[in-house]
């Protein structure tokens, strides 16, 4: 998988890939992963991939929260808060 292919995956898959790469980078051995010797270039590539995944997940979280905020701001129901009088705290 290349960094420019990350947009194809869901958040759960990206989290799993990020955790697996992080474990391999830290040297944690797992039964389901073959144990090979990683060169410095492999470690650098994995670190760059982890950073790209974290950035993408953060961007998706921000966009989701902005979408929720936008739909709440446009809400015009019986409890419309957009035209409410300001409350002064004394």
Query: For residue 78, what are its two tokens?
Result: 């019986």
**Number of separate domains in the chain:** 1
pLDDT tens, residue order, the chain (90 aa): 666 677 677 788 888 888 888 888 887 776 666 667 778 888 888 888 889 888 988 988 888 888 877 776 655 555 555 555 555 565
Instruction: Examine residue 76 and state whether it is found in any structural domain, yes or no.
Output: no
Where in the sequence is the domain holding 42, given as residue range(s)?
3-65
According to the 3-state scheme, what is the secondary structure of 10-42? CHHHHHHHHHHHHHHHHCCCCCCCCCCCCCHHH
Give residue 36's pLDDT: 72
Who's near 59: CB < 8 A, 6+ residues apart?
A: none
86: in domain: no
Position 7 in a domain: yes
In a domain, 90, yes or no: no
Q: Give residue 30's pLDDT.
A: 66
User: Are residues 50 and 59 in contact, defined by beta-carbon separation less than 8 angstroms?
Assistant: no
Is 82 within the bounds of a domain? no
């Amino acid at each position: 998988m290349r960094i420019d292919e990350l947009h194809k995956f869901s958040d759960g898959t990206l989290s799993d890939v990020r955790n697996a790469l992080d474990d391999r980078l830290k040297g944690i051995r797992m039964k389901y992963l073959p144990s090979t010797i990683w060169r410095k270039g492999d470690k650098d590539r994995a670190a760059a991939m982890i950073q790209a995944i974290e950035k993408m997940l953060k961007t998706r979280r921000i966009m989701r929260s902005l979408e929720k905020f936008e739909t709440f701001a446009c809400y015009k129901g019986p409890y419309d808060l957009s035209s409410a009088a300001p409350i002064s705290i004394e």
